């Protein structure tokens, strides 16, 4: 993931953007937040790979368990970052990462009765729903907020706040370098936080639900947005409390 502290002159646009970033301190914590985003993306990718299996009406037990999720996330995180969380004492913030992986495991465990039903094809357990549940449960455990958001959101729980709306508008500007995330130290509810948004673009796998024709119903029964390959789909947004 590419990251760069953007010096956006947003003074006066919203109250939240009034706080200036302090890059020296942002560096380390921004890396932790990048790792958290990576862990959610890995989990979501694993659910995505399992879609056909999950929605296979001819099968009962799918073999897609929390333990499978847990071990795959550990393995793929190591490949992506070279950090081995199975030797946690050598990784700074390992406990936080392991808490997130534990939540990813639990979300898959909780959905077992739903996904292991035979005779039903589409079961509604899709990568975004996984990510939303993980975000909600991780927040309760850690105080770190993680969510998927976009301007024209489908689910009110994913609604962007003012800060997120502003950054999403910036991401959708053709002058914004594709893939570059946005990070800033600021205040939320009177407390210092690091906020990061990582843009997400529509890939072919997303278009079945978010693509054309705009307004037609997707498999989940919601209206498609009419996105094209490579369009901005939204962002992963993190609010990370500083001490
Ligand atoms: C099977 C259909 C389906 C696929 C495939 C799919 N989505 Fe979605 N997407 C949804 C649904 C349904 C929601 C609302 C989820 C919720 O309840 O939180 C959603 C929500 C989102 C949101 C959060 C904002 C909102 O609208 O509430 C983003 C961002 C998003 N999707 C991006 C993507 C991207 C990027 C891909 C491909 C990597 C993708 N989606 C693939 C169905 C899908």
228 CA to centre of ligand 1 in angstroms: 14
Would you give the DSSP letter of residue 17?
G
CA max distance for the chain = 58
- Res 111 pLDDT > 60: yes
The Cα–Cα gap between 101 and 91 comes to 15
For residues 173-197, one letter each, b for 16 or more C-beta atoms within 10 angstroms of the residue's C-beta and e for the rest, the string is eeebeeeebbbbbbeeeeeebbbbb
pTM metric for this prediction: 0.89
128 CA to centre of ligand 1 in angstroms: 5
Q: Identify whether the C-beta of residue 53 lies closer than 8 Å to the C-beta of residue 116.
A: no
Angle (deg, nearest 10), helices 94-110 and 23-49: 30
**72 is written with which tokens?**
């795959």
193 CA to centre of ligand 1 in angstroms: 27
Nearest atom of ligand 1 to the alpha carbon of 200: 35
Confidence bin at 3 (pLDDT 50/70/90): low
Which pLDDT tens digit goes with each residue over 152-197? 999 999 999 999 999 999 999 999 999 999 999 999 999 999 999 9
Closest residue CA from atom 8 of ligand 1: 128
86 CA to centre of ligand 1 in angstroms: 31
- Res 2 pLDDT > 70: no
Confidence bin at 243 (pLDDT 50/70/90): confident
Nearest atom of ligand 1 to the alpha carbon of 155: 27
Closest residue CA from atom 34 of ligand 1: 206
Least confident of 4-8, 79-83, 91-95, 169-173: 4-8
- Residue 236 has a pLDDT of 98
Confidence bin at 18 (pLDDT 50/70/90): very low
CA-closest candidate to residue 183, choices 235, 118, 148: 235
Which contiguous run of DSSP H or E holds residue 236?
Answer: strand 232-241
Mean pLDDT within 126-136: 97
Ranges of H-type helices in 7-111: 23-49, 51-54, 66-81, 94-110
Residues within a 6 A CB radius of ligand 1 = 126, 128-129, 132, 148-150, 153-155, 158, 200, 202-203, 205-206, 208-210, 218-220, 222, 233-234
Mean pLDDT within 194-203: 97
210 CA to centre of ligand 1 in angstroms: 7
**17 is written with which tokens?**
């953007």
Mean pLDDT within 114-128: 96
Closest residue CA from atom 5 of ligand 1: 206
Among 165, 210, 221, 227, residue to substitute to test ligand 1 (most atoms within 8 Å of Cβ):
210
Nearest atom of ligand 1 to the alpha carbon of 150: 24
Strand partners, 241: 193
The Cα–Cα gap between 13 and 243 comes to 27
Strand partners, 149: 235
Q: Identify whether the C-beta of residue 242 lies closer than 8 Å to the C-beta of residue 194.
A: yes
Which contiguous run of DSSP H or E holds residue 133?
Answer: helix 127-142
């Amino acid at each position: 993931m590419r990251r760069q502290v953007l010096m956006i002159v947003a003074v006066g646009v919203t109250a939240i953007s009034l706080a200036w970033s302090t890059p020296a301190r942002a560096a380390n914590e921004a890396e932790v937040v990048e790792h958290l985003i990576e862990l959610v993306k890995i989990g979501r990718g694993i659910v995505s790979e399992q879609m056909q299996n999950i929605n296979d009406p001819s099968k009962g037990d799918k073999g897609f368990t929390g333990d499978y999720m847990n071990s795959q996330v550990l393995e793929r995180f190591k490949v992506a970052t070279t950090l081995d969380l199975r030797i946690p004492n050598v990784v700074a913030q390992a406990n936080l990462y392991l808490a997130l992986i534990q939540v990813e495991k639990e979300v898959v465990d909780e959905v077992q009765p739903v996904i292991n039903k035979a005779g039903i094809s589409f079961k509604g357990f899709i990568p975004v729903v996984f990510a939303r549940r993980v975000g909600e449960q991780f927040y309760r455990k850690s105080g770190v907020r993680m969510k998927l958001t976009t301007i024209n959101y489908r689910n009110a729980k994913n609604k962007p706040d003012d800060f997120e709306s502003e950054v999403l508008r910036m991401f959708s500007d053709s002058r914004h370098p594709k893939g570059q995330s946005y990070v800033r130290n600021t205040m939320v509810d009177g407390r210092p936080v690091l906020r990061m948004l990582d843009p997400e673009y529509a890939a072919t796998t997303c278009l079945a639900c978010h693509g054309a024709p705009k307004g037609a119903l997707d498999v989940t029964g919601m209206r498609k947005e009419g996105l094209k390959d490579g369009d901005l789909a939204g962002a992963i947004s993190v609010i990370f409390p500083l001490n």
